């Protein structure tokens, strides 16, 4: 990471999409874009801002994240109702979601290759497919028996293993 122009990346991102680089946008853009690709909830970004002594409200963080998303700087990944992550990698890719610890991992490669997508209704075309595969730690035999009830409740697309 270069220390020569520490704010350049955040400033470039904002000005490239025509967003005025206000103090708050710059501060949040630096947290978002100056440490590699990240997946963050609004609450996580707010916590980072508070830790960095930025005078910002959670509402401002929400508004700014949505402005950045509309401008194409972020991609919103909805993992379940009311739970969104904001991805600084806006290229087309898919995710694993750890439902216990609450984080996303990029799935490398084109996972849709070889999958037959359903035909959309007549007159419509598919513009985007977002795959989020929910997962949790695989259990060994005894643990799996003990948590059978819990497993039956778990939703998501985890694959079941034959015992």
Please identify, using beta-carbon distances, which residue of 29 and 87 lies nearer to Zn ion: 87
Binding mask 124-163 for Zn ion (x = CB under 5 A): ----------------------------------------
Q: Which of 110, 100, 161 is nearest to 134 (CA)?
A: 100
Phi (first) and psi of residue 131, to 5 degrees: -105, 125
Residue 87 C-beta: closest distance to Zn ion, Å: 4
Binding to Zn ion in span 55-94, by CB under 5 A: 87, 89
Please identify, using beta-carbon distances, which residue of 18 and 108 lies nearer to Zn ion: 108
Residue 61 CA to residue 49 CA, distance in Å, equals 9
Please identify, using beta-carbon distances, which residue of 89 and 147 lies nearer to Zn ion: 89
Residue 22 CA to residue 146 CA, distance in Å, equals 54
Residue 68 C-beta: closest distance to Zn ion, Å: 15
Please identify, using beta-carbon distances, which residue of 47 and 106 lies nearer to Zn ion: 106
Binding to Zn ion in span 92-121, by CB under 5 A: 106
Residue 92 C-beta: closest distance to Zn ion, Å: 10
Q: Which residues pair with 40 in a beta bridge?
A: 86
Q: How many CB atoms within 10 Å of residue 95? A: 19
Contact between 28 and Zn ion by CB under 5 A: the answer reads no
Strand order in the sheet with 75-80: 39-40, 83-87, 75-80
Under a CB-based contact definition with an 8 Å cutoff, are residues 85 and 105 in contact? Answer: no
Given the rule CB under 5 A, which residues bind Zn ion?
87, 89, 106
């Amino acid at each position: 990471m270069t220390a020569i122009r520490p704010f350049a990346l955040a400033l470039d991102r904002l000005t490239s999409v025509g967003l005025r680089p206000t103090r708050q946008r710059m501060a949040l853009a630096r947290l978002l874009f100056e440490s590699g690709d990240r997946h963050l909830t609004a609450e996580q970004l707010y916590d980072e801002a508070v830790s960095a002594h930025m005078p910002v409200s959670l509402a401002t963080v929400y508004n700014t994240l949505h402005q950045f998303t509309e401008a194409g700087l972020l991609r919103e990944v909805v993992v379940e109702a009311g739970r969104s992550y904001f991805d600084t990698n806006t290229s087309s890719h898919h995710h694993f979601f750890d439902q216990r610890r609450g984080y996303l991992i990029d799935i490398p490669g084109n996972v849709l290759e070889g999958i037959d997508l359903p035909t959309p209704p007549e007159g419509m075309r598919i513009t985007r497919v977002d795959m989020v595969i929910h997962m949790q730690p695989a259990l060994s035999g005894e643990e799996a028996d003990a948590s059978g009830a819990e497993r039956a409740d778990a939703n998501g697309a985890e694959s079941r293993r034959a015992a």
